[in-house]
Structure 1
Amino acid sequence: METDDFRALLTWFRELADEIRNTGTPAEITSGLACVHHRLAEVTKDCDIWIPPTSLAAFKHRVLTRQWQGNRAVYRSALSVPLDARWLNGGWSAHIVWEGRPKAQVDVFGRMPRILQHSGGDLYSDEETLARVKMTRREKDWPTVHALGERLITKGDPKGLLFLQKAESLFAAKEKFSREQWAKQAKDRPLLDCFDGAIQVTMLAAHLRTEQTFWRQVDHHRMETYREAGKNYAKAAHKILNTLRTFAEQDLSLTKLAEELLPTHPLQDKADSLIGAASEDALANVDQSRFNSSWLPIEWAKATLCPT
């Protein structure tokens, strides 16, 4: 059940995104708050928002001028990059907070994880975009991925086949789409090809767990790459955030620090090694006489680490 404070915060987040959109630039609320919008969750602590890196100037103006319960914004994490296209275009995120009860926490993305190309649309991410975003290293996110796949299937959208996590659901979906539609999705999700044999529900369920482990390890290695690349920056940024109290001062100092210590694109030229490590992790305890390694979505995963 939503409390009055939480409802007020949701309204504040929506108004913030609407203000940006009204300037003519896209702004899209995604992840947890989008799950609340789609009635897949009841509450979330913060607002994840996608802003095209080229449109950050308008957003920064809003951050500088907007208040929540009389409080102005500050950066809230030493691993936050400044609101600068150079780093947000490279997959980093900026973390901002307005103190209050509850706090208004906003995480800003220039590139949403696992989204290859994005031009924005509605105020909240649609089901397909949200499903891709939620394919994280956290086990708790995967029921949401499945639920979003089910919704796409119900709408007659074959892309829902990419996200189903239950064997029974995949067997049921097999009857709803043509051979051509199924084959098209199998290009991204090769595990769908295992239906060519007389596979049993229990075996398919095991295969799905292996595939999910692979995706979770891809995200784990991705996040670890960013953490390692930002280690020295975070140590120095922590001192800045404890010393400077206004957003403008913090932003200026963090930008200078990032120029010195923070690579803009930590994943550059690392996709093959990260995918290789994730594959090894996923297959470590798997009987490969039963699971064909070609069923792992290698090319799809690699593309998510090398967005155009």
Structure 2
Amino acid sequence: MGHYDVIQFYLALVSAAKARGIRCAITSGMACVAYEVAEATKDCDLLCDPEAAADFLALLAESPFEGAACRYRGNISPPLDARWHKGGWTSHFEWPGSEAYLDVFGIAPRARSSWLEEMQPPYVHPHVVADMKRTGRDKDWPFISALGVKMVEKGDERGWLHVYELDSLRRLMAEKPAPPAALLEARPLLKLVATGSPLIGAAARLERSFWQELSDLRVRLFEKLLRSYVVAMRKATAGTGRELGLHENHKLRVECAEQHLPPRPLTPDVLAEFIAKAKESVLTGMTPEMGVWLPDVNPNFTLLIPELK
């Protein structure tokens, strides 16, 4: 089977979930393809209501592809369980021998608004997709800008938060109504665009680097915390002496995670430390005054860290 069949399988999976009352939606690469800012992908990133984690796991167990049953991908995947998904962990699945790979999130990383409150089924809203794409990977950033441009052009002012391509920023500022005051405060960089400041290029690069550094700090924290869990999983699966089915494997993962994987690694104090480190890193060699053009990122973490509200 080819690319088309893999995509249709993912879409059928979301449709089957909906029929069971499970709220889920496709995000990241496949959503970018659907919104016409990317060309193709075979992997699927999915947001699933954490409260429906057990039901979605049951659906995966009943959903073979190309004759292969679904299984967790390696020992590194945390369990598909509400306790860990509410804390920002992601579960990884595969169908051995096929090109189907699925990553399941419960909370959209860096999202300002809940993906459950606005969707464009079977996809997550572009606003949430753009927030999720604020990673340390350079390849993600053109998609963020492209999504932002489309949002602004369709009348969704939140798109201003996502446009990083300078020519697009200048064109939109000339052709569209100016961003409202709330967005100017949320993203100070927009004030430079509105006034035609020569600092715009440096400020845009600074802001992007700041987001990338924050993302990398978060990833490194989660990778560090995974180490003892992975070791425990390796020992637990080796001890069985056989290939486990999805539900049996899941039970082992929960047992290992309860001992080795903190459900909510990000706290207000940890985030504050990351913000300080990211600012120090990106402002090295620059005038300290440039820091005023960095955004307040706390609103992007209130869903993951409820104490911030």
TM-score higher than 0.5: yes
In structure 2, the residue matched to 1:108 is 104
Q: So what's the TM-score if we normalise by structure 1?
A: 0.90
Does the C-alpha gap of structure 1 residues 198 and 111 become closer, same or farther in structure 2, counting only changes over 3 Å? closer
How far 1:286 moved relative to its partner? 2.1
One-letter amino acid of the structure 1 residue matched with residue 277 of structure 2: A
Query: Are 2:154 and 1:155 aligned?
Result: yes
Deviations along 1:190-218, whole A, 9 cap, x unmatched?
22223465512xx3112100000000011
Q: Which residue of 2 aligns with 1:185?
A: 183
- Could you tell me how far 1:75 is from its partner in structure 2? 0.8
Structure 1 counterpart of 2:36: 39
Q: Does the 8 A contact of 2:70 with 2:96 survive in 1?
A: yes
Matched, 1:229 2:228: no
Letter of the 2:148 partner, please give it: G
8 Å contact from structure 1 (residues 146, 163) kept in 2: yes
Query: Following superposition of structure 1 onto structure 2, how do residues 80-229 of structure 1 map, counting pairs within 5 Å?
Result: 80-102=77-99, 104-116=100-112, 117-119=114-116, 121=119, 122-179=121-178, 181-195=179-193, 197=195, 199-200=197-198, 203-229=199-225
Q: Counterpart in 2 of 1:281?
A: 281
Identity of aligned residues (%): 30
Name the CA distance, whole Å, in 1 between partners of 2:105 and 2:43.
13
Gap runs ≥5 in structure 1: none
CA contact (8 A) 1:135 1:215 kept: yes
**In structure 1, what is the Cα distance between the partners aligned to 2:12 and 2:228?**
36
Distance 1:198 1:101 in 2: 51
- Are the aligned partners of 2:161 and 2:183 in contact in 1 as well (CA < 8 Å)? yes
Q: Alignment partner of 1:114: what SS? A: coil
Q: For 1:107 and 1:183, how far apart are their aligned partners in 2?
A: 37
Number of aligned pairs?
Answer: 299
User: C-alpha separation between the residues in 1 aligned to 2:293 and 2:250?
Assistant: 45
Classify the secondary structure of the residue corresponding to 1:28. strand
Of the structure 1 ranges 119-128 and 225-234, higher mean CA displacement relative to structure 2 is found in 119-128
Gaps of 5+ in 2: none
SS of the residue corresponding to residue 187 of structure 1 reads helix
Indicate conservation of the 8 Å contact 1:166/1:205, yes or no: no
**Alignment root-mean-square deviation, CA:** 2.0
Measure, in 2, the Cα distance between the counterparts of 1:20 and 1:144.
27
Measure the CA separation in 2 of the matches of 1:61 and 1:74.
12
The structure-2 alpha-carbon separation of the partners of 1:229 and 1:108, relative to structure 1 and needing over 3 Å to count, comes to: same
Secondary structure, aligned partner of 1:146: helix
SS of the residue corresponding to residue 272 of structure 1 reads helix
* Residue identity in the other structure for 1:278: A
Cα distance in structure 2, aligned partners of 1:11 and 1:164: 31
Q: Which of 48, 51, 55 pairs up with 1:58?
A: 55
Give the conservation status (yes or no) of the 8 Å contact 2:22–2:56.
no
Indicate if the aligned counterparts of 1:153 and 1:160 stay in contact, CA closer than 8 A: yes
**For the residues of structure 1 that align with 2:16 and 2:194, how far apart are their CA atoms?**
51
